Each structure stands twice: as C-alpha cells, then as structure tokens.
C-alpha cells in the first residue's frame, strides 16, 4: 500500500485515521485476489485428481500466497502431503483447518491417515471413526478377526473397492481362503484395477510396519507456518506496537501480505487492527521501521494467531458457497484412502502357496514386483524362483553356430499406425518370416491387439523396458519395475513370459543384467545394427546392402518397428539371404540351436 501522510499530529488521531485506511486497503486487496485464489485452488484440486502433483503444488503455492488459512485450501494442502507421504505437513495443515472448523469430518479423516503414515495405529484409531473403512482397517491391523464377520455380507459385486479389499484380506486372515481369494480376484479383475501401478493417492498396504504410504513422488514441501507455544493470540480490535525502533526511524509499517497494511508516521508507532475482518488462523505480521525517505532500517516478522468467536465472512469472499459445495466432495475423494494392488497380489500369492499352486503364486509375485520391488519379500522370492527354475541369465551378441541362422529382431513398438506395425506384420506374414519383437511395455499395454497378433502369427515377444529410458540412469528398483512391468503386460496379454530383454540404446551394466536375470530373462544384444540406414537420407537399398555385407551365421540383426526404409528393404533382405541358404529364426530358436552363449561384455 502507498504510504499515507496524515495531517493529524496527535498520536491517537493518527492511529484512528490509519486504522480506517488499513481497512479500505485490505478490502481492495481481497477483491483483487479472490478470483486468483479460487482459480488457483480449483486448478490444484483438478491437478490432484489427475495425479499431477508437481503442478498441484505450484497451484497451491499461488493460492497460499493469497490466503494460508482458508479451509478448502488447507484440505488441498493436506491431500497433497498425504499423497506424497509427508505426514508432518499433512498434520500441520489439518490442525490449522481444525482450528477453522473443529467439527469438519474431513480433518479427522486426514489426521487418521497422517497417523497411519507415521505407523501410529493407536493415534489413527482416535480419528478413524470419521470413516468406517478406516476404522475397520485399523482394527484389522490390530488383529481383530471380528472384522471378517462384520464384512461377511460383502460380495464380489461390492461397489466400494476398499471395502471389497478389506473383506477379502480379513477373510484370508481369518482362515477363509476360498472367500478371500474370490473377493481379491474380483477386485483385481476390474478394468481400473488391472494395471501394475498403485494409485497416486494414499494407499493402505495392509502391513503393520507400513500402515499407509503415499502413491505420488515427493514434491518440494509447501511452507505453512508452525505455531510455537508462545504465539500471541489476537481478537477483536488488536493494538499493534513496534517496540524499540532504531535511531532515525520516521515511520513504521505493519503488513500481513494480501490481508492488512497500515503505516504510522509518528512515535510511539502504535496502530489498531480489526482482526474480525480476517478468518481465524495463523498470519505473519511484518513490521518494518523506515527512515524519512521510506528506506527500511530493520524488519521483524511475527507469527500471530487470530481467534475470534464468530466466523469471518472473509473466506466466503475467497471461496463462494457454490464453489465450496462443489469442492467438498472432491476433497473428500482426495482424502479417502485407496486399496493397494500390490497388497492384494501378495496376499493371493500367499494363498496360492498354501494351495500348492506355484503358477498362480509366481504370477502374483511378478505383479507385486512390477508395482513395488521392495514390498515385503516379493523381489527376493522371485529372484530365488527364477534362479532355481530358469537359471542364471546370459547375454547374447550372436549365436555360436556354423548353421546359417539369423535372428531378425525388431525394437520399439508396437505402433498402431497402419503403415507401421500392422504393415510390418502383413509383410512378415507374406514372407513367412518369424521374428522377435522387443516391445515397449507402455505401448504394448495400449495396443494389446497388436501383441496378440504378433503371438498368434508365431513371432516371439521380448522385453524392451516399459517406458524406453536409459536404464543406467535409474535406481535398481526403477530398473526392476521397468523390466518386470513389461513382462507382466506381455504375460497378461499372451499368457507367455518374455525370456529375453534388450536395454534401450544398448545401455546396460552389471546391475541391469542382474535384475533381468532375477526376473528370468537373458540379454539379447546384436551382431549387426542397421539403425543408421533405416532413416533418411539413406534409401532402402542402402539398408539392404549394409545388412547383406554384414550377416554371418548366428547373426542377431537389430532393426526397428517400423521405419519406412525397414519395411521397404526387408523383402529384398529376406529374399537375398534365403538365396544364400540363411534361415530366419526367433531368439529362442537361435539360442537352442547354438553352442554356449557369447559372454556379455560390460
């Protein structure tokens, strides 16, 4: 606010005049910022719903710059913190919201989850009555087998997925495997629950030492004021004093950014603040002493709490009743915990082991590792199984054979454009050539019909990671997820597990090779890489000439799925190599008809 120069000399008159000036300034600021606040809050809620947590955080930061005490904003901050596993910041926002509206059930719902994130079951129990599912979950973690009885009427058609999972998990813990397996299988069979990915909201993994976890990646924390025990509480018409000021002070300004501003230009620099015009909550009061030119001499920041008996209309101006009515059910959904896919798969794996169904146990453990390799003993179990039944993975650069065998391998894809993967498949069928497709898991998941067609037409499907990253830049767990999730996608579509993987760009190291081996896969690299000639300015004839000059018995030929040059050159490549006596085989057949594998060179 621009500094007002009051002509009134008496200190009490100065205080009164500037108090009025501060009121008009605060009102004008509120009018200017209400639209920006509601817009930023609405955007933040939408971003949270779509799982875009970094963008939600940015929108909430804009909202908090206007108002750090409005309850819908605080609940949105709490949802962001819970989703990202930040229990302490969630609690801070929820306790501030509770000061605004002590009876609001969403604050208790959020506080119960914050306590679960901290593995405080007893603390969570104190708030869990706000949600029947949470109350049952806390009791189940405590070993209460009565939960299974109370959920005995839940069927496979239960519309609430968390209640369905609670019923299934409690049945298993009560020893009723048939019922528990049926309910959890029904949950995972729902289209929205088939993906090997947890919700980005807070999930309940049904583990005593890990009672809840955020599904979203951490974001930079939002700054909310933490009130120490000696924080002054202001009510009604509060008197503000600057205390001791430095020599040369000519005026003192009092500011609560976006809410209040006043300037006093004569000692003892006292003013009055009508706190009833602001909502209850915590505010940072900035007191600045300036010289006669308005230059700051020093500045102090004081955290104060406003606590008036009657609710302030200020926040109704920030968030209209209509907007609040629209936001509250969305905030409830964001603050509602979600079931855990990995917990369901792990429980089904344990049940399959009890039933001596090793195939089902393996499938469920693979799904757990695809979601979270660190969950319980899933990765160790899968590694042990594959070491015992599949063996140690090797790396193949070529087949060790005098036979004129060539493994044609096609990376990337599937690409659903008719002149890409469909055209490639048409051409291969016409040529009667079987190849090995190294597919990207996310693309396979989005195009299951093309994967089925590859399998139906006799091609081998191998693993080229889920998102095609440089695997050497990833953590070990991220590598395991990239590879295992792709294998699970292919398995769920075709019923067959990939037995070969190729790291994108050929970038690999010992840790990546070990992860692939633990997942039951061998590395498939290449003898001849035609990538350079698959694209302009080179012609299809250039690719053909390059391949024909390089091929030897046992060659693993790396091409892609499916540039124009590749589709146009392959008929001539196949015709010419067959004329030389070469046979096209899949990776599996090449290995089976070869001698010992060529060692992988790291």
Greatest alpha-carbon span in the chain = 109
Bond before 268 cis per omega within 30 degrees: yes
Q: Which of 315, 364, 459, 560 is catalytic?
A: 560
Alpha-helix residue ranges (DSSP H) falling in 447-598:
448-456, 476-494, 510-518, 540-550, 564-579, 587-592
Cα 46 from chain centre: 15
The shares of helix, strand and coil residues in the chain, as percent rounded to the nearest 5, are 50, 15, 35
Contacts of 334 (CB under 8 A, 6+ apart): 45, 48, 49, 76, 79, 83, 201
Q: CA–CA separation, 547 vs 325, rounded Å?
A: 67
Instruction: Say if residues 232 and 304 touch (Cβ distance below 8 Å).
Output: yes
Task: Give the three-class secondary structure for 210.
Answer: strand
Which stretches of 50-176 are DSSP H helices? 53-66, 71-83, 87-100, 105-117, 121-125, 132-141, 146-150, 161-173
Q: How far apart are CA 336 and CA 351, in angstroms?
A: 28
- Identify whether the C-beta of residue 106 lies closer than 8 Å to the C-beta of residue 131: no
CA-only gyration radius of the chain, Å: 33
Contact between 315 and 67 under an 8 Å Cβ cutoff? The reply is yes
* Helix-helix angle 448-456:421-431, to 10 degrees: 10
- 100 φ, ψ (degrees, to nearest 5): -70, -50
Q: Is 560 tagged catalytic?
A: yes
Out of 411, 412, 464, 529, pick the active-site residue: 411
* Residues recognised as catalytic: 411, 560
């Amino acid at each position: 606010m621009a500094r007002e120069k009051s002509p009134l000399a008496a200190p009490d008159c100065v205080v009164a005049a500037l108090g009025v000036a501060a009121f008009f300034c605060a009102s004008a600021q509120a009018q200017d910022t209400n639209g920006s606040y509601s817009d930023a809050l609405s955007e933040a809620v939408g971003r949270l719903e779509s799982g875009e947590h970094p963008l939600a955080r940015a929108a909430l930061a804009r909202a908090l710059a206007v108002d750090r005490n409005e309850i819908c904003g605080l609940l949105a901050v709490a949802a962001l913190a819970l989703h990202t596993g930040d229990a302490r910041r969630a609690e801070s926002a929820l306790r501030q919201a509770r000061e605004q509206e002590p009876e609001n059930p969403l604050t208790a719902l959020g506080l119960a989850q914050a306590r679960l994130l901290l593995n405080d079951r007893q603390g969570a129990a104190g708030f869990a009555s706000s949600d029947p599912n949470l109350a049952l979950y806390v009791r189940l973690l405590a070993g209460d087998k009565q939960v299974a009885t109370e959920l005995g009427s839940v069927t496979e058609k239960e519309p609430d997925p968390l209640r369905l999972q609670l019923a299934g998990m409690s049945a298993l813990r009560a020893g009723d495997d048939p019922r528990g397996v049926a309910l959890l299988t029904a949950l995972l069979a729902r289209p929205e629950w088939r993906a090997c990915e947890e919700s980005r909201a807070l999930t309940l993994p049904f583990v005593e030492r890990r009672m809840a976890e955020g599904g979203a990646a951490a974001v930079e924390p939002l700054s909310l004021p933490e009130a120490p025990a000696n924080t002054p509480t202001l009510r009604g018409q509060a008197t503000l004093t600057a205390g001791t000021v430095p020599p040369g002070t000519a005026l003192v300004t009092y500011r609560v950014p976006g809410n209040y501003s006043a300037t006093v230009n004569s000692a003892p620099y006292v003013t009055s603040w009508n706190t009833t015009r602001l909502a209850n909550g915590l505010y940072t009061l900035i007191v600045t002493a300036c010289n006669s030119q308005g230059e700051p001499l020093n500045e102090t920041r004081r955290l104060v709490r406003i606590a008036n008996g009657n609710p302030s209309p200020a926040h109704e101006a920030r968030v209209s009743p209509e907007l609040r009515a629209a936001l509250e059910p969305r905030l409830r959904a964001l603050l509602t915990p979600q079931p855990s896919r990995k917990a369901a798969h792990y429980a089904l794996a344990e049940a399959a082991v009890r039933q001596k169904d090793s195939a089902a146990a393996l499938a469920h453990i693979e799904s757990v590792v695809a979601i979270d390799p660190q969950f319980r003993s899933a990765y160790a179990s899968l590694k042990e199984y594959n070491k015992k039944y599949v063996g140690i993975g090797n790396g193949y650069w070529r087949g060790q054979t005098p036979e004129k065998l060539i493994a044609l391998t096609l990376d990337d894809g599937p690409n659903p454009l008719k002149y890409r993967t469909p055209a490639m498949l048409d051409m291969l069928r016409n040529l009667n050539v079987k190849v090995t497709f190294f597919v990207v898991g996310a693309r396979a998941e989005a195009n299951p019909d093309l994967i089925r067609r590859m399998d139906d037409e006799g091609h081998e499907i191998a693993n080229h990671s889920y998102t095609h990253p440089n695997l050497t830049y990833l953590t070990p767990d991220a590598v395991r997820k990239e590879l295992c999730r792709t294998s699970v996608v292919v398995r769920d579509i075709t019923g067959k597990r990939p037995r070969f993987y190729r790291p994108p760009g050929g970038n690999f190291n010992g840790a990546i090779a070990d992860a692939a081996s633990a997942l039951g896969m061998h590395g498939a690299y290449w003898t001849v890489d035609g990538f350079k000639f698959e694209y302009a300015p080179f012609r299809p004839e250039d690719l053909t000439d390059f391949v024909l000059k390089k091929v030897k018995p046992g060659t693993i030929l790396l091409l892609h799925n499916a540039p124009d040059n590749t589709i146009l050159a392959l008929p001539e490549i196949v015709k010419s190599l067959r004329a030389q006596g070469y046979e096209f085989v899949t990776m599996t057949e090449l290995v089976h008809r070869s001698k010992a594998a060529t060692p992988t060179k790291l």
